[in-house]
Amino acid sequence: MIASSRKIYDVIVKRVDEQTKQTVFLLPDGQEIVADDSVAWTEGRRGVLIQFSSGDLRFSEYVEQRLRKVGDIHPASSGAPRHGRCGGIIWQLDGDREGRRIFASEVIVPGIEGKFIPDQTQELKLLIPPELIAMCESRGLTAKDVLEGFIADLCGLQNYFVLPREDGYSSNGSDEREYAEQWFERAYPDWSNTEGQS
């Protein structure tokens, strides 16, 4: 069973006590949360704090420290069509003279200068054989996990903190990308490049 969680944005690392291995987090409403955390966070850094129903905490620094959450995008809202379906977050960069708003899915935190790769995926319904399901399950995976991983490797999709992908696609590594490309070239060669060659 997956533990439920709550994300709190714009949390600041208020104090790090290296002797007790405790970190004090300052929430936007002024409350403090003390975590028994041996990670040496840098005081003053801002990020998102995830509270799990089990009581565990996880803190993730913003790559772009000027990011501030200014609102939510609710399902079926207007103004950001892609996020209107699933909900999302409205961000702003502290000190941005233009006051521009950044609309992003709730599954990511924008990267440097509030940038990210927007979700442009298209839905595809696919019938899959039981052999694939069994193969994936033998590794504790779903067919969706494996197919998404293969697509990311084949297309060379990278999901970096500095420029996150809203669709979540992320390659498994350079070797995997190389082998996926080799498979594609062998299975589906580009015969147009061989015309005129003897």
Task: Show which of 40, 61, 82 is a domain's final residue.
Answer: 61
Higher pLDDT, 180 or 85: 180
d(CA 60, CA 47): 6
Predicted local confidence at residue 164, as pLDDT = 97
Check whether residue 15 and residue 52 sit in a common domain.
Answer: yes
DSSP labels, 161-173: SSS-BTT----S-
Check whether residue 73 and residue 88 sit in a common domain.
Answer: yes
pLDDT at 169 over 50: yes
pLDDT digits (tens, 9 = 90+) for 45-70: 999 999 999 888 999 999 999 999 99
97: in domain: yes
The model carries a pTM of: 0.82
d(CA 141, CA 177): 20
Check whether residue 110 and residue 139 sit in a common domain.
Answer: no
Identify the CATH number of the domain in which residue 48 sits: 2.40.50
Count CB neighbours of 152 within 10 A.
Answer: 22
Q: In what order do the strands lie in the sheet with 88-93?
A: 67-73, 88-93, 102-105
Question: Whole domain around residue 72: which residue ranges?
Answer: 67-114
10: in domain: yes
